[in-house]
Chain A
Amino acid sequence: MALMGFPKYTIKEGTIIFRGTDITHLPISERAKMGIGMSFQRPPSIKGIKLHGLSELINWDTGNGKNIEYYAHLLKLESFMDRDINLGFSGGEMKRAEIFQLLLQHPLLSLIDEPESGVDIENLGVLGRAIKKLLHKSDRYHQRKNAGIIITHTGFILNYLNADKGYMLINGKLTCSGNAREMFESIQKRGYRECQDCFKNR
C-alpha cells in the first residue's frame, strides 16, 4: 500500500525508487502509469461502474477487445462483466477480478496482497495459473519482464508458482530471506516462532 502511494501511509524515512525514478511523492495513478499494479486484499465495490467498462479503461492494449475477452475467459469472469465492480462478489470472485484487472493493466511490478484469502481450492488453481501468466513465470528467464511481490499468510500460492525469493516479515520487520519454498516448509513444520528465535539469536 505504501509502495502504491496510499495517503494513509506516511513515508518517514528513505525514498522509493522505481526504474531509476524517485516516486516517493507521486500520486497513485502516476505510479500505476509507470508500471506498478496492485491486487487488493479487500477491494471496494463501486456502484454503477461495470467490470466491463473499467476493463476498457485500463486495458494497456487500448481498443483490443480480444484481450479483455481472453482474460475474462481465463479467470472465468464472463458472466461478471456486466456487473458492478465487486458488488456482491464472493471472496474468490473478487480475487479473480483483481488479477484479471492486473493482466489488463500489464504492470512491470505487481503488488499482490493475499491472493489466497477467502478463496477455495478450485479458484486458487485458476488464480495461481493467472498470476503465473501475469508474472511471466512460464517464459524464458531472459524474456521475463514483469516482476511481482506477493504477500501471503498461508503460502498456498507457492503450490502454483515458485517465487525467486522469499522474505519473512514479522511485526513489521524483515527477519529472514531465502528460498521461499524452504522457508514455507519450515514454517509449516515448526511455526513462525522458530523464525523469530532464529532472528533474535543472530
Chain B
Amino acid sequence: MSGLLQEQIDERDREKLQNVGFDLEEKERSATFTLMNHDEVVTTKKEPGVELISIARAVEKYPEIEAKYLWKLVEKGKDDYTRSAAGAEKLAGYFIRVKKGHKAVLPLQACFFIKAERFKQMVHNVIVMEEGSSINIINGCASADYVNAGMHIGVTEIYLEKDSYLSYTMIHDWSEEVEVRPRTGIRVEDDATFVSNYISIKRSKITQTNPHCRLVGENAVGIFNSLIYAPESSIYDVGSTVWLDGRNSRAEVVSRAISGGGEIIARGELVGNRKEVKAHLECSGMLLSEKGYIQAIPILHARHPDVDMTHEASVGKIAEEEVYYLMARGIPEEKAISLIVRGFLDTKILGLPAFLEKEVEKTINMLENAF
C-alpha cells in the first residue's frame, strides 16, 4: 500500500473497504482512486495507457473537457440530487481516460467512502474510453462502521468511443441510514460494449438509481446486471434504461433481487428505435420474508417493426422443493436456504473475467452473513 493511502485509511476502515472489492495492496490494480468524504487520493499508475486524475485537476489541465464531457449525459436540472451536485462548491470525483487502442491488463479501482456522520458526499466522475481501448473498473462504495447516516450523490458520465470495451462493476456496503442516489449517463458508439455490474446486498436507507444508456452506434452493446439483497427496512429502487438507436445494437438487462424484508422496485426500460435491434430484459425476484415487497417493472418500447425485444419477470418465494432436495442430501434446512439464496445471486451472470469474478464472489461470500 502506498504511503498516501496508508495515511488515509485507518485500521478500522480496512475491513469495510475489502468488503467492497478494494485491493489495499494494489497488487492487481492498474491505478487507484479513493475519495474519503471529499478528500481525494490517486495512487499507483502502472499503465501509461490509463489516465486517472481527479476531476478538478482534469478540468484545470484540459479546459476543453468541461464543455465536452461534463453534464452532457446527465442533465443538471434532472432532479433535486443532480441540482445539488451541480451546485456543489467542490468538484470531487475522478476523470479516467483509457488511451486509443490501449487494452488495460489490470483493473482500475475506485472507492467512495463516507467516514463522518451525516456527511453528504457529492461526486462527479467522467470516463472516456478512446477508440479501441478496454478496461475493467471496480467501484467500491461504502461508509464506515461508525457512520449511521449520510448521503451519497454520484453523477457519472461514461463515453465509449468506437470499438471500445468497458466493464464497470459497483459494489456497495453502506450503513442503515445512508441515502444513495447515483445518476449515471452512458453513450456507446459503433462496435463498443458497455457492461455494468451492480451489486448491493447490504442495508441502506434508500438506494435509487437508473442509469440512462444510449446505444448510438452500429453494433453497440449495453449489458446491465444487478444482484440485490434488501434487508428489512431498506428500500431499493433500481433499474436501467437503454435506448437502442444504432442499427443492430443490442441490450440486455438482467436483475436478481432478493427481499429479506426490504422493499425492491426492479425497473428495466428498453427503447427500440432502429431496425435490427435486439433487447432482452430479465427480472427475477425472491421474497424471503412476509414483510418484504418486490415490484418488477419491465417496459419495452418498440418504434420499428423490425425489432426483437423480449422480457421475462418472475417473483416468488424460495422454492420448497429445492430446499427439501438439498436437505435430502444431508444439508440442514438453514444451510440449504442460504445456498439457494447465494446461488440465486449468481456471479456467473456478470460476465467478468475469471479472476475478477472470483474476487466479487469472495465479496458476496463475505457479505453472506447478511442473510
Contacts and interface: CB of A to CB of B under 8 A. Distances in A.
Interface of A: 4, 6-7, 27-29, 32-33, 37-38, 40, 43-44, 46-49, 54, 57-58, 84, 101, 105
Contact of A32 (B329, B342, B346): B329
B332 interface: yes
A40 B322 CA distance: 12
B319 interface: yes
20 contacts: A27-B327, A28-B327, A28-B328, A29-B330, A32-B327, A32-B329, A32-B331, A37-B328, A37-B329, A40-B325, A44-B325, A46-B325, A46-B326, A47-B346, A48-B342, A57-B329, A57-B331, A58-B331, A105-B329, A105-B330
Contacts of A38: 328
Contacts of B330: 29, 32-33, 58, 105
B307 interface: no
Interface string B311-345: 00000000101101111111111001001101111
Contact of B332 (A6, A29, A48): A29
In this complex, the interface size class of chain B, counting residues with CB under 8 Å from chain A, is 20 to 34
A46 B340 contact: yes
B332 to A, nearest CB: 5
Given A27-B327, A38-B328, A46 B333 contact: no
Contact of B319 (A40, A44, A58): A44
Contacts of A43: 325
A38 B325 CA distance: 9
A29 B346 contact: no
Q: DSSP class of A's interface residues: helix, strand, loop or mixed? A: mixed
A6 B331 contact: no
A27 to B, nearest CB: 7
A54 B332 CA distance: 13
Contacts of B325: 40, 43-44, 46
A48 B348 contact: yes
Smallest CB-CB A-B distances: 10 pairs? A48-B343, A48-B346, A32-B330, A28-B327, A29-B327, A49-B343, A58-B329, A44-B321, A29-B332, A38-B328
Interface in B22-50: none
A32 B328 contact: yes
Given A40-B328, A48-B348, 4 more contacts: A29-B328, A49-B343, A54-B329, A101-B329
A49 B340 contact: yes
A49 B325 CA distance: 12
B344 A48 contact: yes
Contacts of A40: 325, 328
A43 B336 CA distance: 15
Interface string B272-293: 0000000000000000000000
Nearest to A45: B322
In the complex, which of the residues A28, A32, A54 has the most CB atoms of chain B within 10 Å of its own CB atom? A28
Contact of B343 (A7, A28, A32, A46): A46
A29 B335 CA distance: 11
A77 B101 CA distance: 42
Contacts of A37: 328-329
B335 to A, nearest CB: 8
Contacts of A28: 324, 327-328
B322 A29 contact: no
Nearest to B320: A7
A48 B286 CA distance: 14
Contacts of B332: 27, 29
A100 B24 CA distance: 43
Contacts of A101: 329
A6 B322 CA distance: 12
A84 B346 CA distance: 10
Contacts of B344: 47-48
Most buried by B among A37, A47, A57: A47
B297 to A, nearest CB: 22
Nearest to A34: B330
A37 B336 CA distance: 16
A54 B336 CA distance: 11
A72 B336 CA distance: 23
Contacts of B336: 29
A54 B331 CA distance: 10
Contacts of A4: 328
Contact of B322 (A7, A27, A44): A44
